[in-house]
Structure 1
């Protein structure tokens, strides 16, 4: 596609631009959220020299521009280096905003955090976000015609051994959400970041984390334009509606998060239910993102 064609695609209105940005942000979250639960990155960003912060940002920008030539976050691939660079600026800015928002949500950036510390931490946390955004179309691209080829869950019925397509689709989605949640929760549950974050959040902040988890899950599966987005809403199933499926998948992800915390003895019978709830909701954010990625795979 020529530069003019790419510009025309980009000028398709706010709706297309919004869908592209949601796709990029979703890819960034899928790729970058594990590093947001890494204490060493918080500390490193807080003391590293500003020149190294600028250098890291510049290097990540160059990598993102190169990735845009083969992938990117738009439906149309960048046809020239100018388009790739323009998209790269947008991706890095989006990654910085998303990383800062999640760090604020996790109380790792507060009103008492110095500007230099906040910038350093945000930049180093934003780098994997930017890479994920640049790879989002390649990793989870929407394949033209797959909605028409989709049979509404017939093949899944054979996989799970259930003849009823509604039940088979529900079981398949539930299993995929659980497996995806397990992948991320298993690697984060034993770390010290969970109690560290949990100790810094209050009840209203927990509600914000719950709301953000639901919103991110919905955006990844139903708003980002990844695989079979339209087809998912047509499948037969007990929870095959965006709101119901998002809530059900979140409950499954919370259950997986709680099981992982129990497995690694982060919570136990000697702790209060408030501790159980706080730890589970904090771990539930990455678990929910993993669950969303799992549902995209079925």
Structure 2
């Protein structure tokens, strides 16, 4: 978040935006009992995988939708570490104020488990908040540039770069939105009580939601492509967003132990049920978060 010779007041403003964003996107998880229990029962391997996955998501988001798009990889790596640090501090403070962490009568493992689990969602919120809640990013990019540089059209990104950014933003959106619902009992309840045609209709609904978001993002976007190319991008991005949503749903459900002692059908049904919510994050991530 902080670059060399960057004014202190701008750095403070960025940290403030990050804190607000972190709390805004993670408060539901901070107030969810199932997440507290998951943090208490999580194994060191699960926590390690969660930290690595979150860091990769932060790298992707900061690379493709960060506050300063032209920043170096070194700055991206540092920003991501800072965001995880802020997430850890915020999570510990909020859980302590909620009396979910007690300095006496609670083991270090339990405190670390709860803090780390909550901090990963907070960290993604910090990254989004830092990049999107401020209005000064355009001014920062414009400082020091000549008028002809400001009016020049941006270079068109390659197809692979565009899809990589979509993938990164979709995962971030699916995790931050679907992760708030995954630990609740309602997901497995709906999966068990729903008939097969309910699951099919939910899957169709998810695709339609993704299609609508991608349609307005691609077809009405600034990219100059022919009509057939745009239609292909709409279809491809819709499928990619829904696939990402299902994968993100499966990852969240697995982490919270929702696949234990259930049949394959119930496990898949849970992914599709949660996928409705995750799809909104995955597809709208490109439209709203980017």
Q: Normalising by the residue count of structure 1, what TM-score does the alignment of the two structures yield?
A: 0.43
